[in-house]
């Protein structure tokens, strides 16, 4: 191992004082043995091997069930570099706070050293890190979500990402451990130091708070690295599409939470002869390749998906993925040793043990599975995984898809006028706040630019400027075309578009546009398909229904422009000039429509 890594590990061990250190070699034997230890310690439940082979259930503490955005920090020397969308603490101040918390925090526990690669091992696209953690839960999840072990060590150099994690619950001699140790919410810190390529996480054992290769490394730290090095780290799926003639193309897509990103990543096309394969459902790293195309890799090796709402109807590939070799967190346990969550089946079982270990029946007031309960599965489990998932050069991207959940205003699909206009579309992404969320802003649009608002590791103005600079630098190359999707438009409370596998019809139009086919009409917001441009064979879509899916209501767009204007206030004086130009041009186009009428 690199001498710098060895010295760092020794320093952290002196600070945290674990009882022992275990080097993770990345073997199946280690993985199985550690899970066996957790079962015997009451930290995991082995599921019925006949129902769910080699799978386990974990239950977290009720206070530790999701990302803790208000305890997540971007720490830089100057506040301006973190920007208005991040919680900022000055570097030396936060490092002092974290060092004090880490002092002796692993006493009575084991510190695991996990070397890991984000992306195929040895790829020029990939980045390497080491996570030090006192949580065996984190170890087995990192084993699935990243490429871990001895094969990574030759690629550890002075540029490796230093990631430290502790549950923040040292044990005194003879003190009995609890099934899910963690610190109180006010003591949790998810701290990022992009100027030092360092992540320090304390007090939470759950999800992205603790699996530091995921959002912390692959988005927050990587986005800052990408800006320095001239590439993009994005909250995007990667999808491989093959048409009936055998032509292969790839698309990426960024969608806010609850907008169908995972379902699209695992789509089973309804169109005859079309095939879809998945390369990733959550994160994409994009670089311009030597061939003049933008290439993408998925830095992860597994899925960390939300369980509730996943079913054979909504996502059969996901259900096949979790049929074996899967770790579940905070779902319900059936009487025959399997798992269950809301909407998994049309009707609930008569009896379950809920995510907190209590008896549950359909008459119970609380949900059986936590709304943010998860499954963690290797990507190779997915029956639709692309064979070239591990391609070290990535795959060439034809289109980038943006979108949100909007019941009105935004049409089913439209294409940007050009790359700069596409960046504008990414900057205004958002979803309407529904009654499913407790909020005083019900009915308003919550903006989530590029689906990256919680994950940009630096100033949002610099982030959008970086996208614009990529477009300018490579304007003569094969930049992906950019499209905006809204599957969720409604009329009289009912969805106008059937969704799910039928979304392949929209993907077909997108790829035809990428090939240069006309097949569209120019509108005030971009290029939209006419009815004859979409393959609607077999669907009962009336002229009225089609027109409603693509209607541009000037009054709604007047409100939309005002909403965008309000959102842009977060940039202050640093709003990129090109975004202001795009917004002014959008307003002028709708004003021209009004004048002609």
Catalytic residues, by residue number, are 259
Torsion of the alpha carbons at 331, 175, 97 and 198, rounded to the nearest 10: -60
For residue 560, CA distances in Å to 121, 341, 391, 451, 464 come to 45, 37, 41, 18, 20
- First and final C-alpha spacing in the chain: 72
C-beta separation of 59 from 180 below 8 A: yes
Phi, psi of 449 (to 5 degrees): -55, 125
Rounded CA separation 178/170 (Å):
11
Residue with tokens 């927050």: 220
Query: In this structure, is the dihedral angle defined by the CA atoms of residues 296, 302, 304 and 308, taken in order, positive or negative?
Result: positive
Helix (H, G, I), strand (E, B) or coil at 522: strand
Geometric angle at alpha carbon 99, from 98 and 104, rounded to 5°: 110
CA 174 to chain centre: 41
H and E: helices and strands count for the chain: 15, 34
CA distances from 509 to 41, 478, 519 (A): 54, 19, 8
Find out whether 149 and 27 touch, Cβ atoms under 8 Å.
yes
Cβ contacts of 548 within 8 Å, gap of 6 or more? 489, 491, 496
Helix or strand (DSSP H, E) at 29:
helix 28-40
Give CA–CA dist 421/425, Å, rounded: 6
CA distance 424 to 421: 5
Q: At 113, phi and psi to the nearest 5?
A: -105, 115
The full DSSP string for 320-339 is HHTTSS-EEES-EEETTS-E
Pairing of strands 430-432, 494-495: unpaired
- As a whole number of Å, the CA-based R_g of the chain is 24
d(CA 355, CA 371): 10
DSSP state of 175: P
The one-character DSSP state at 228 is H
Question: CA-CA distance, 249 to 517, in Å (whole number)?
Answer: 15
* CA gap 306, 144 in Å, rounded: 16
Sign of CA dihedral 386, 488, 374, 171: positive
């Amino acid at each position: 191992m690199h001498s710098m890594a060895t010295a760092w590990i020794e320093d952290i061990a002196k600070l945290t004082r674990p009882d022992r250190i275990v080097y993770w070699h990345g073997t199946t034997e280690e993985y199985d043995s550690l899970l066996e230890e957790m079962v015997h310690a009451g930290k995991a439940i082995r599921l019925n091997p006949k129902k769910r082979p080699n799978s386990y259930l974990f239950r977290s503490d009720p206070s530790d069930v999701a990302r803790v955005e208000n305890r997540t920090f971007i720490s830089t020397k100057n506040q301006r570099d973190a920007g208005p969308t991040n919680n900022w603490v000055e570097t030396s101040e936060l490092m002092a706070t974290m060092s004090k918390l880490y002092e002796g925090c692993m006493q009575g526990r084991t510190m695991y050293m996990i070397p890991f690669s984000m992306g195929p091992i040895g790829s020029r696209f990939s980045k390497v890190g080491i996570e030090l953690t006192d949580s065996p839960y984190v170890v087995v999840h990192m084993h699935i979500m990243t490429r871990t072990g001895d094969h990574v060590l030759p690629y550890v150099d002075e540029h490796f990402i230093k990631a430290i994690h502790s549950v923040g619950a040292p044990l005194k001699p003879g003190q009995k451990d609890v099934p899910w140790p963690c610190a109180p919410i006010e003591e949790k810190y998810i701290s990022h130091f992009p100027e030092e390529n360092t992540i320090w996480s304390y007090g939470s054992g759950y999800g992205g708070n603790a699996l530091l290769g995921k959002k912390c490394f692959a988005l927050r730290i990587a986005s800052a690295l990408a800006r320095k090095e001239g590439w993009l780290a994005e909250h995007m799926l990667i999808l491989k599409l093959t048409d009936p003639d055998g032509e292969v193309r790839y698309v990426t897509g960024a969608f806010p939470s609850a907008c169908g990103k995972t379902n699209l990543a695992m789509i089973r096309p309804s169109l005859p002869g079309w095939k879809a394969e998945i390369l990733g459902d959550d994160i994409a790293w994009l670089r311009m390749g030597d061939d003049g195309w933008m290439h993408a890799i998925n830095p992860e090796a597994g899925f960390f998906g939300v369980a509730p709402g996943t079913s054979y109807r909504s996502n059969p590939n996901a259900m096949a993925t979790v049929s074996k070799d899967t770790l579940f967190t905070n779902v319900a346990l059936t009487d025959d040793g399997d798992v269950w969550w809301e909407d998994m089946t049309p009707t609930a079982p008569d009896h379950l043990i809920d995510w907190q270990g209590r008896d549950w029946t359909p008459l119970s007031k609380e949900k059986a599975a936590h709304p943010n309960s998860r499954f963690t599965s290797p990507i190779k489990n997915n029956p639709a995984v692309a064979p070239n998932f591990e391609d070290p050069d990535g795959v060439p991207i034809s289109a980038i898809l943006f979108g949100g959940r909007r019941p009105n205003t935004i049409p089913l699909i439209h294409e940007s006028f050009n790359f700069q206009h596409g960046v504008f579309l990414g900057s205004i992404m958002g979803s309407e706040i529904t009654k499913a969320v407790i909020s005083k802003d019900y009915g308003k649009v919550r903006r989530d630019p590029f689906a990256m608002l919680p994950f940009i590791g630096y100033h949002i103005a610099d982030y959008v400027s970086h996208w614009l600079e990529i477009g300018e630098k490579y304007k003569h190359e094969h930049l992906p075309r950019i499209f905006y999707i809204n599957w969720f438009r409604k009329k009289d409370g009912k969805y106008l578009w059937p969704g799910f596998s039928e979304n392949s019809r929209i993907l077909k139009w997108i790829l035809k546009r990428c090939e240069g086919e006309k097949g569209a009409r120019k509108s005030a917001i971009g290029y939209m398909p006419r009815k004859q441009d979409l393959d609607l064979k077999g669907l009962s879509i009336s002229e009225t229904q089609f027109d409603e899916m693509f209607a541009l209501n000037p009054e709604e767009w007047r409100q939309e422009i005002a909403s965008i204007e309000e959102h842009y206030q977060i940039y202050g004086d640093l709003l990129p000039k090109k975004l202001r130009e795009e917004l002014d041009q959008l307003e002028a186009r709708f004003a021209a429509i009004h004048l002609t009428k």
